[in-house]
Homo-oligomer: A and B are copies of this chain.
Amino acid sequence: MASSSSLTLSQALLSRSTSHHVSNPSPPSDRLNLPAPISFSALKSTASSPSSLPTRSRRSINSRRVSVRASAAVETLEKTENTLVDKSVNTIRFLAIDAVEKANSGHPGLPMGCAPMGHILYDEIMRYNPKNPYWFNRDRFVLSAGHGCMLQYALLHLAGYDSVQEEDLKSFRQWGSKIPGHPENFETPGVEVTTGPLGQGIANAVGLALAEKHLAARFNKPDAEIVDHYTYVILGDGCQMEGIANEACSLAGHWGLGKLIAFYDDNHISIDGDTEIAFTESVDTRFEALGWHVIWVKNGNTGYDEIRAAIQEAKAVTDKPTLIKVTTTIGFGSPNKANSYSVHGSALGAKEVDATRKNLGWPYEPFHVPEDVKSHWSRHTPIGAKLEAEWNAKYAEYEKKYADEAVDFKSILSGELPSGWEKALPTYTTESAADATRNLSQQNLNALAKVLPGFVGGSADLASSNMTLLKSFGDFQKNTPEERNIRFGVREHAMGAICNGIALHSPGFIPYCATFFVFTDYMRAAMRISALSEARVIYVMTHDSIGLGEDGPTHQPIEHLASFRAMPNIYMMRPADGTETAGAYKVAVEAKKTPTVLALSRQKLPQLVGSSIEGVEKGGYILTDNSTGNKPDAILIGTGSELEIVVKAADELRKEGKTVRVVSLVCWELYLAQSDEYKESVLPKGVNAKVSLEAGSTLGWEKFVGSNGKAIGIDRFGASAPAPKIYQEYGITAEAVIAAAKAIIG
């Protein structure tokens, strides 16, 4: 409503003019010929604006907290001489340049520009143990601009992680390499999450920071602060443009994630050229609107002290996440390609690599790490061991004093499920009342939250429709972070990515999230990352077909079951009743490296004869059968809400004297992983009359019904009307199944 103050505007103009300076095609040599005298630029931040209220309130936080955090930092690591820092920074740059050059593929620009902040983070700020990348209380780092992965690989290499040896750097982007083309948590220990698709990383980082804040509030004691780490992110212009980043950062501000510190690599270049052509908003003002503390480091190329001071300021603000906008030059050091898109995503080429070596005064062979740099970084191995040992000792104390809390904490840390947890799953009989699987799902969620300490989650503003509220817990909010119901707002995409961050924070976290099944379209990129990065997220997707009725085709999924069946490493579950819903949750919880999508009904469904958890675990199984010798006249196959219709069709056919088998194909992925013998026992090749019924796309059903069978489904969009009417009009009926079966049986 009110305009920004003129102060804000003039600073924005200053930003623009500075960036224009940075945009010179050939940067002035005095900025590039190193070693150069490092001039200290006074840190430019909101701190310099004493008139504004948020600054004042932050100031008061400063005075309370800054000394504590600052001394903690000094405790572990001392500030290094700038000449050595220069050398280390250039080592990072050239490891990136050389690896991309050898691969003749990759993105050298970002590592060259972000090397200073990378160096300061990994060498001066972050607490980690390179010999145990999974140490619980490590600071987390996320490279949201994942294409710049050589920055992270170079840092992991210098820091002493075993995952990135010199030979790995030399095999960057090659078959079998441990350092792939974008950071992958499942390939490279030390990489926390899988990034590359823009905006995912910053949202993952929000999840990591949420996890820390939750655990700290839930488990820390005044005399035992066992959870205490930061989440650092580097994101670029590309991430900033993506909607998911705005969604996630709005939540981070809402939740007051004070230990989330994001570096925005403000280099004014994206693939299509200067960001002027498509990205002229004021990012700073937007983040302030989102409730972040914002700092601007004007000289990210050589302003080490500016970067250091910004981090200290960020740490001092404990009630807000901080965005440190760091103005850098993409491809810094390359005399002919710096500050242009040509350095973004291609090798520099031998000639320009030579020119850059000369320009930055780098006399070394490719992949060389100078001895003093190597020696300097070598301290991280003992420091890391010490940090972990200290924490272990602290935790041993904790375990003694707070034995009850330690049980839950340990389960989240280790990922070991409490023994007998599965007994908590609700049980159903055919006498149990008919109910929607979304309601049955809620019974499971509430039961599981009581026995699984890492069970947390929520909905994208549809809790009362998705039926996802945990009744024994309150809301995770800024001032109640120990609670377990997460309110994501209408932000499906960020929701998925935040859950990925939670899942990958500690192995015992089991995040779930919910929306209408059709709106998986909004979050599919995050769901794919769940599958790829082996993040056990449970996607509770209700209103799973035309059965939702009047909301109409915009809300009725058609192609969604097929679309997830095609995606690798994700279980697409469509349970038919209470027992199958419990079975689906059992599978989902036990699938430590696989996310699960649960497609659940809005409409009531009866509890079916023959449904079983064991059956669900096999993905497909015989529900009922009145045949012998594995040769029924017909096999009728259904999933979810259509299984009861298939059962009715079978009853009719049996009345007419036919032998009929009913098969529930609740999860294709699990079924296809069974032995050939099992599959032949369920869907024998010799039976022609196989008919499937599912209120969704028929794509893929031929695999089960065979060339002679019939797949009944919906290959057009839905309609707005009461559900029974649509089922009738769309031919998703027992009559249609009976007719199809008879036509084949003859």
Interface residues of chain A, those whose CB is within 8 Å of chain B, are 1-12, 15, 44-46, 48-49, 51-55, 103, 105-106, 146, 173-177, 180-182, 184, 194-198, 237-239, 241-247, 250-251, 253-254, 270-272, 275, 277-286, 288-291, 294-296, 325, 341, 459, 461-465, 475, 477, 487-494, 518-519, 521-522, 524-525, 528-529, 531-532, 549-555, 558-559, 562-563, 565-569, 685, 697, 699-700, 702-703, 706-708, 715-717, 719-722, 725-726, 729
Contacts and interface: CB of A to CB of B under 8 A. Distances in A.
A159 B142 CA distance: 54
A291 to B, nearest CB: 6
Given A1-B46, A720-B180, A562 B551 contact: no
Contact of A282 (B282, B289, B296, B715): B289
A305 to B, nearest CB: 18
Given A243-B246, A272-B464, A702 B699 contact: no
21 contacts: A1-B295, A2-B7, A2-B11, A5-B7, A175-B725, A181-B552, A181-B555, A196-B554, A197-B522, A197-B555, A237-B490, A241-B489, A242-B243, A242-B492, A278-B487, A282-B291, A288-B289, A289-B289, A562-B700, A563-B563, A699-B699
A729 B175 contact: yes
B272 A281 contact: no
A121 to B, nearest CB: 21
Contact of A9 (B3, B53, B295, B721): B53
Contacts of A697: 566-568
A175 B699 contact: no
A3 B54 contact: yes
A487 B699 CA distance: 36
Given A4-B4, A699-B700, 9 more contacts: A2-B46, A5-B52, A175-B726, A177-B721, A241-B461, A243-B493, A250-B279, A251-B278, A524-B524
Contacts of A289: 4, 281-286, 288-289
A296 B524 contact: no
Contacts of A554: 146, 182, 184, 194-197, 529, 532
Given A241-B250, A254-B279, A182 B551 contact: yes
Given A291-B280, A519-B197, A716-B569, A242 B247 contact: yes
A52 B46 CA distance: 18
Contact of A6 (B52, B278, B715): B52
A617 B18 CA distance: 54
A494 B199 CA distance: 14
A230 B529 CA distance: 40
A486 to B, nearest CB: 9
A90 B181 CA distance: 60
A627 to B, nearest CB: 21
A44 B1 contact: yes
Contacts of A254: 278-281
Nearest to A54: B3
Which residue of A566, A685, A706, A726 has the most chain B CB atoms within 10 A of its CB atom? A566
Contact of A4 (B8, B244, B491): B8
Contact of A270 (B242, B291, B489, B531): B489
A466 to B, nearest CB: 10
Contacts of A184: 552-554
Contacts of A7: 2, 5
Given A49-B2, A558-B567, A562-B562, A238 B699 contact: no
B242 A278 contact: no
Given A11-B2, A461-B270, A491 B568 contact: no
A474 B175 CA distance: 41
A490 B270 contact: yes
B551 A2 contact: no
A477 B465 CA distance: 43
B461 A238 contact: yes
Contacts of A105: 549-550, 722
B552 A180 contact: yes
B494 A278 contact: no
Given A3-B49, A3-B55, A272-B464, A721 B519 contact: no
Nearest to A246: B246
Contacts of A291: 280-282
A534 to B, nearest CB: 10
Given A46-B2, A52-B6, A238 B550 contact: no
A463 to B, nearest CB: 5
- Report, nearest first, the 7 A-B pairs whose CB atoms are least far apart: A243-B243, A5-B5, A278-B489, A180-B720, A1-B296, A285-B289, A196-B554
Nearest to A282: B289
Given A54-B9, A465-B271, A716-B569, A45 B279 contact: no
Contacts of A12: 1
B52 A3 contact: yes
B461 A278 contact: yes
Nearest to A551: B181
A155 B96 CA distance: 61
Q: Which has the most chain B C-beta neighbours within 10 Å: A175, A181, A491? A: A181
A492 to B, nearest CB: 8
Given A552-B181, A567-B558, A706-B707, A241 B51 contact: no
Contacts of A196: 551-552, 554-555
A1 B706 CA distance: 63
A489 to B, nearest CB: 3
Given A175-B719, A562-B562, A288 B247 contact: no
